[in-house]
C-alpha cells in the first residue's frame, strides 16, 4: 500500500516489535549484535516501533550517557548466565532468582508495550524459558538465528540443565516455580547460512520449518583509489581463539619483508594478552599493532588504511561478514572458506582462499597479491560485485517482510 503523499509504506510499518537478545550495541562483542542493531534501525525508519530487551552486560570504555542519548527504546534489564567470557557455577537459589527476575521483566514489558510480534535474536546464555513464556502468550514469534545458540544454549542455561533430568515433571515444576520449560527457536525461523542449518540439524536443534536469509553489508557508491602496496595487513573482529588471529601473526615470519599486521578487535582480555605475548616471543612485536575494539563508523577508514584483510578463522563460523565488508570497500581478502563464508568466497575471483591453521599458506597469499597488481585489481572487482549481491537493505527488507507475514498469519489464525 502507499501513503497519500505517494511514498511506499512497508508492511511492517505501525507494528510494535519486541526484540530479545543477549547483547546489544554499543555494549556488544560481535557481528550478530551489529546485524540486529541494523535491522532495528531499518524497521524504525520504515515506521515500526521497536523495543529491545537485553541483558545488563556492560563493556568497559562505553560512555553510558552517549548510549542513553542514541540507542532508542532499549532496556538492559535482563540477567544472564554468562559472565566474563565463561559460565560460572551458581547455586540453585541464584538460578531461580535469575529466572524469576527475567520473567518479571518480560511480563512487565509485554503488559506495557503490548507487542504485535516478538523477535528472538542472540539467545545464548539467556534464560531460554523466556521462549517458552512467549509461546504461551498470543504474541507471534520470529527467530533470527545467526549462531549455534539453539544447540549450546540449553547446555549453558543454568535452569535448563537440572530440569532436563526430571523428564515429564519438568513442565509442571517449572511453571510452579514461576518459569516455563526452556525452548529453542520458535515461530518463523530465519538462519544466516545453509552451513549453520546443517550444524543445527546435526545437533537436533532445528525445527522442521526454516529458511535462509543471508545478512549483508552497506556498499559505498564509490571508494578511494587503492594506493600502491605498502604491506599493511588487517585482522578485524572479536578476539577469540576460533578466529585464528595467531595464524595471521605467525604468517608474518615468512611474509614479504616489511609486512605489518594490525589487529582490531575487543573481547576476551586473556586472548588479547596471549596474542601480544605470541608476537613478542616470535620477535614480531614491532610488526604487530593492537588497536582494540573499533567503532562501526571507523571501520571504513580502517579498511582504507590497509592493503589486504586476513580472515583466518579456524572454525565453521555461521556467516563471516568481515570479508564482505572488506570487499565492499575495495580491499583484497585472504580468507579460509569455512562455515557460512564458503557460500560466497571464490578463490581467485573475490578472494584468495587458504587452508585453516596454515600460516605458510597465508604468507604465500600475501606474497602473491603484494607482487601482482593485476591480481589485486581482479580481487577488488570481484569482491565489489559480491558485496553488491549481499546488500544489507535487501536483508533488512526480507527480515521485515518475514515479521509482517508472521503477524498477518497469526491474526488470520485467530479469526
pLDDT at 169 over 50: yes
d(CA 56, CA 238): 20
Give a yes or no: residue 382 inside a domain: yes
Same domain flag for 241 and 164: no
Contact 125, 82 (CB under 8 A): yes
Mean pLDDT is highest, among 71-75, 84-88, 94-98, 168-172, for 94-98
More confident residue, 159 or 249: 249
Query: In whole angstroms, what is the distance from residue 146 CA to residue 341 CA?
Result: 13
194 and 249 belong to one structural domain: no
Contacts of 276 (CB under 8 A, 6+ apart): 285, 288, 290
pLDDT at 170 over 80: no
The sheet carrying 74-78 orders its strands as 74-78, 49-55, 16-20, 117-120, 141-145, 188-191, 211-212
Residue 290 lies in a domain: yes
How many residues would you count in the chain?
Answer: 415
Q: Is residue 246 part of a domain?
A: yes
The answer to whether residue 10 sits within a structural domain is no
Residues 201 and 95 in one domain: yes
> In this structure, are 118 and 29 located in the same domain?
yes
What values do phi and psi take at 161, rounded to 5? -60, -50
Looking at the structure, do residues 286 and 297 belong to the same domain, yes or no? yes
Mean pLDDT of all residues in 149-163:
86
Q: Is residue 360 part of a domain?
A: yes
Q: Which residues pair with 55 in a beta bridge?
A: 78
Mutual angle of helices 373-389 and 359-371, in 10-degree steps: 110
CA angle, residues 240, 241, 246, in degrees to nearest 5: 110
User: Are 127 and 25 in a shared domain?
Assistant: yes
Give the model's pLDDT for residue 145: 98
Residues 336 and 409 in one domain: no
pLDDT digits (tens, 9 = 90+) for 326-377: 999 999 999 999 999 999 999 999 999 999 999 999 999 999 999 999 999 9
Q: What is the pLDDT of residue 65?
A: 65
Write down the pLDDT at residue 199: 95
Q: What is the pTM of this model?
A: 0.90
N-terminal to C-terminal alpha carbon distance within the chain: 23
Coil, strand or helix at 202: helix
Q: Are residues 385 and 398 in the same domain?
A: no
Residue 405 predicted with pLDDT over 90: yes
Q: What is the pLDDT of residues 178-228, one digit of tens each?
A: 667 777 899 999 999 999 999 999 999 999 999 999 999 999 998 888 889
Q: Are 375 and 397 members of one domain? A: no
CA torsion, ordered 405, 408, 409, 410, to nearest 10 deg: 120
Return the CATH number at 50. 3.40.50.2000
For the CA atoms of 19, 42, 147, 168, the dihedral, rounded to the nearest 10 degrees, stands at 30
* Angstrom distance (rounded) from CA 327 to CA 112: 43
Residue 221 lies in a domain: no
**pLDDT exceeds cutoff 70 at 68:** no
Percent of the chain scoring above 70 in pLDDT? 94
Q: What's phi and psi for 20, nearest 5 deg?
A: -115, 135
Is there a domain that residue 80 lies in? yes
pLDDT of residue 8: 59
Is the residue at 222 inside a domain? no
pLDDT of residue 86: 85
| Domain limits for position 371 | 232-390
Per-residue model confidence (pLDDT) at position 29 = 74
Same domain, 38 and 139: yes
Same domain for 399 and 384? no
Alpha-carbon span 261 to 46, nearest angstrom? 41
- The pLDDT assigned to 1 comes to 37
pLDDT at 360: 98
Q: DSSP letters along 217-276, please?
A: B---S--PPPPSP--EEEEES-B-GGG-HHHHHHHTTTSPTT-EEEEE--B-HHHHHHHH
Mean pLDDT of all residues in 155-172: 78
Question: For 342, which DSSP code?
Answer: G
Which cell goes with 385?
Answer: 560485485
Residues 36 and 149 both lie in one domain: yes
- The per-residue pLDDT of the chain, averaged, comes to 91
Indicate if the pLDDT at residue 260 is higher than 90.
yes
Count: domains in the chain: 2
How does residue 4 score in pLDDT terms, banded at 50, 70 and 90? very low
Model confidence pLDDT, tens digit, residues 269-305: 889 999 999 999 999 989 999 999 888 889 999 999 9
Find the mean pLDDT for residues 74-79.
95
When pLDDT is cut at 50, 70 and 90, the band that residue 66 belongs to is: low
Amino acid at each position: 500500500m502507499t501513503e497519500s503523499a505517494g511514498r511506499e509504506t512497508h508492511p511492517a510499518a505501525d507494528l510494535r516489535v519486541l526484540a530479545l537478545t543477549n547483547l546489544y550495541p554499543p555494549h556488544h562483542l560481535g557481528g550478530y549484535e551489529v546485524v540486529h542493531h541494523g535491522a532495528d534501525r531499518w524497521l524504525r525508519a520504515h515506521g515500526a516501533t521497536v523495543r529491545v530487551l537485553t541483558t545488563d552486560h556492560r563493556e568497559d570504555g562505553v560512555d553510558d550517557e552517549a548510549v542513553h542519548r542514541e540507542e532508542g527504546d532499549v532496556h538492559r534489564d535482563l540477567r544472564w548466565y554468562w559472565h566474563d567470557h565463561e559460565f560460572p557455577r551458581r547455586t540453585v537459589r541464584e538460578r531461580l532468582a535469575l529466572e524469576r527476575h527475567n520473567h518479571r521483566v518480560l511480563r512487565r514489558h509485554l503488559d506495557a508495550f503490548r507487542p504485535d510480534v516478538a523477535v528472538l535474536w542472540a539467545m545464548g546464555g539467556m534464560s531460554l524459558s523466556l521462549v517458552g513464556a512467549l509461546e504461551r502468550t498470543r504474541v507471534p514469534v520470529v527467530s533470527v538465528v545467526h549462531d549455534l545458540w539453539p544447540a549450546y544454549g540449553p547446555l549453558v542455561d543454568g535452569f535448563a540443565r537440572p530440569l532436563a533430568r526430571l523428564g515429564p515433571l519438568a513442565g509442571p515444576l517449572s511453571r510452579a516455580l514461576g518459569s516455563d520449560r526452556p525452548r529453542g527457536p520458535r515461530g518463523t525461523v530465519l538462519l544466516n547460512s545453509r552451513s549453520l542449518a546443517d550444524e543445527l540439524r546435526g545437533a537436533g536443534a532445528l525445527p522442521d520449518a526454516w529458511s535462509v536469509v543471508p545478512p549483508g553489508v552497506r556498499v559505498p557508491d564509490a571508494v578511494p583509489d587503492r594506493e600502491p602496496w605498502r604491506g599493511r595487513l588487517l585482522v578485524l573482529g572479536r578476539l577469540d581463539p576460533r578466529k585464528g588471529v595467531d595464524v595471521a601473526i605467525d604468517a608474518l615470519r615468512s611474509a614479504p619483508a616489511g609486512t605489518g599486521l594490525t589487529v582490531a578487535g575487543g573481547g576476551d582480555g586473556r586472548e588479547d594478552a596471549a596474542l601480544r605475548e605470541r608476537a613478542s616471543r616470535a620477535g614480531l612485536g614491532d610488526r604487530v599493532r593492537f588497536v582494540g575494539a573499533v567503532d562501526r563508523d571507523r571501520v571504513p577508514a580502517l579498511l582504507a588504511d590497509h592493503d589486504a584483510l586476513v580472515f583466518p578463522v579456524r572454525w565453521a563460523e555461521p556467516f563471516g561478514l568481515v570479508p564482505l565488508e572488506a570487499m565492499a570497500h575495495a580491499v583484497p581478502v585472504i580468507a579460509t572458506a569455512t562455515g557460512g563464508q564458503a557460500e560466497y568466497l571464490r578463490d581467485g575471483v573475490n578472494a584468495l582462499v587458504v587452508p585453516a591453521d596454515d600460516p605458510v599458506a597465508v604468507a604465500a597469499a600475501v606474497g602473491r597479491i603484494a607482487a601482482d597488481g593485476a591480481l589485486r585489481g581482479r580481487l577488488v572487482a570481484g569482491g565489489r560485485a559480491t558485496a553488491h549481491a549481499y546488500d544489507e537493505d535487501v536483508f533488512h527488507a526480507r527480515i521485515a517482510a518475514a515479521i509482517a507475514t508472521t503477524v498477518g498469519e497469526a491474526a488470520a489464525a485467530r479469526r
